[in-house]
Amino acid sequence: MDIKKTTLPQEKSVKRKKTKEKAVGGTASGIEGGESKKTLSKYVTQVYKLIDSKKKYPRQSLIRREEGIVMLEIVIRKDGRLKSMKSVTAKYQRLVDSSFDAVEAAAPFPPFPNQITRERLVIQVPVIYKIR
């Protein structure tokens, strides 16, 4: 994967194209055609769980007691391949890097269900880092 790293706010991209896409969050906004909110919501939840299962708390962040939410915007192709990702909001660079690593480890994602007819989805995913 050809991915570039920059500083906050940060973006990783694969063959960037300028397109206008609506972000889909947990509320399943921006639904088109025959797509149901339930189907889209299930898919987004599945993606979120996959990313969360790959998340690792950076050791230095634990030592420094860095906590927070990294809001990522990821673009997934119909076949489940990751097109791009960027951090929308974040406080600590280590947590952003860890979040990117989690997304890359979780990808490729499952292909879209047949009810989702678009070619790509833009999803906002919160990656939560909380020291217990």
Q: Is 14 within a domain?
A: no
In sequence order, the β-bridge partners of residue 86 are 11, 73
* 12 within a domain of the structure (yes/no): no
- Classify residue 86 as exposed, middle or buried by CB count within 10 Å of its CB (0-12, 13-18, 19+): middle
Within-domain flag for 2: no
**pLDDT of 14:** 44
CA–CA gap between residue 14 and residue 1 (Å, rounded) = 7
Record the pTM. 0.76
Q: What pLDDT does residue 37 have?
A: 86
- Whole-number pLDDT of residue 3: 42
Phi, psi of 50 (to 5 degrees): -65, -45
**Total count of domains within the chain:** 1
Q: What is the pLDDT of residue 34?
A: 56
Looking up residue 60, the CATH number of its domain turns out to be 3.30.1150.10
- Residue 11 is predicted with a pLDDT of 52
pLDDT at 20: 43
Domain encompassing residue 108: 21-129
107 assigned to some structural domain: yes
- The pLDDT tens digits along the chain (132 residues) read 444 344 345 555 444 333 444 455 443 444 455 568 899 999 999 999 999 999 999 999 999 999 999 999 999 999 999 999 999 999 999 999 999 999 999 999 999 999 998 999 999 999 999 998
